[in-house]
Amino acid sequence: MELVQDESMLLHLAVSAVFSGLTIYKLTKNKVKIENASVCGLLSLLTLGIISFFCASGRAVLTLFVLSCVAYYFSIPVRDMLPMEGKAVLITGCDSGLGHALAKHLDELGVLVFAGVLDKKGPGAEELKKICSSRLSLIQLDVTSGQEIKTACDKIKSRVRDEGLWGIVHNAGVLGYMADGELLPISVYKQCLNVNFIGAAHVTKMFMPLLRKAKGRLVSISSMAGHTPIPGFAAYAASKAALTMFCAVMRQDLFKWGVKVATIHPSGFKTNIFGSRENWSAQDQNILANLTADVKDDYGEEYLLKLRELHDEMAAISSSDLTPVLEDACHALFAQSPNSSYTPGRFAYLIPCLFRYFPLWVYDYFAKQIFQIHRNILPRSLRLSRTKNNGA
């Protein structure tokens, strides 16, 4: 009996060793991130492995463990990339930031890039024209303008003809301003929704016949705020959440056409979406001008002016290396089996996990520590109330 048990334990250890080696090799070779490697499946396997180790005499448990190992190994995505050269991709918001970098990156890879810009004569467009190859075409494209979307579609249609459009990357976006949701003017909510969501939906609707013809890819740059509540991002997060759900539904709708849909949820990267400090100062005045007297009195001007410092804080903690986002965008566009969701950047996977799988108070505690907006100062009426209570 002991011999049988020893043999079972040896078999268990041998399978575990082989499985671990093959899994690590496959994950490394295909550059699979932990969030795309089925974390839940891995945890389940570890639990099953522990059970089977202590119950090694039970052949059924051991057999189940071996089969689970094999199933998990084959579930790891393989990084098989399709040819990129000659495929046509439209990118919105290429004046600066991520869209600008992605347009240059894809051009270097031989992709036929249509770079949508807000200003064809602006510095960002001029730089693309100077640096990139003749394959890249600048497209005047304000995603909030129906006429510009139609004109862009007609121009691209005449270029791609029967080949269709391989990819659309919805990158154009605005942040508006970072403040308590009560303080944000309705104009900021409208601007975020118009650019971040409705503009993307309008572009998708207009270009979809070309995308279906190519059986291509629809890729959207959403945000970590699109599926995780972040203090101060009420307008921006709502618009990105709408974009995220839109893409989730479109993935189901377009499956029958052979079009694959992916959403990228980056964390903090240094782009022009934060705007300049001068722009935030102007937004301060806009907020103050639109507040009622009682709200202004409850929050106090000191609190409102303190929000301006968040611009510098956000810029300081944001990463200037856009490589993780560029790699995920390329994978979404050209991988044979792209993921439906990507989370590049620091904490972009951890923070949503805290929100989804832990008690809400755990997430709220960490959110208060991580995000700056509620750490440094309280609204005027709350400060006065605390002072009064402490004095009593």
Cα dist from 343 to 89, 219, 251, whole Å: 22, 13, 18
Distance CA 299, CA 379 (A): 4
Q: Which helix (H) or strand (E) holds 378?
A: none
Distance CA 343, CA 263 (A): 9
Q: What's the gap between Cα 170 and its chain centre?
A: 11
Closest CA to 262 of 240, 280, 244, 289: 244
Q: What is the separation, in whole angstroms, between the first and last Cα of the chain?
A: 75
Q: Which of 73, 189, 236, 349 is catalytic?
A: 236
Instruction: Give the strands of the sheet with 112-117, arranged side by side.
Output: 137-140, 112-117, 88-91, 167-170, 217-221, 260-264, 341-342
Q: Helix-strand-coil percent breakdown of the chain, rounded to 5? A: 60, 10, 30
Encoded tokens for 137 = 């075409």
E-strand ranges in the chain read 88-91, 112-117, 137-140, 167-170, 217-221, 260-264, 341-342
Amino acid identity of 70? V
User: Is 236 a residue of the active site?
Assistant: yes
232: left (phi over 0), alpha (psi -120 to 50) or beta: left
Encoded tokens for 77 = 């995505």
DSSP 300: -
Amino acid identity of 183? L
Distance CA 159, CA 113 (A): 11
Which residues does 218 contact at the CB level (< 8 Å), separation at least 6?
Answer: 167, 168, 170, 204, 211, 247, 250, 254, 259, 260, 261, 262
| Contact between 239 and 176 (Cβ < 8 Å) | no
* Residues belonging to the active site: 236
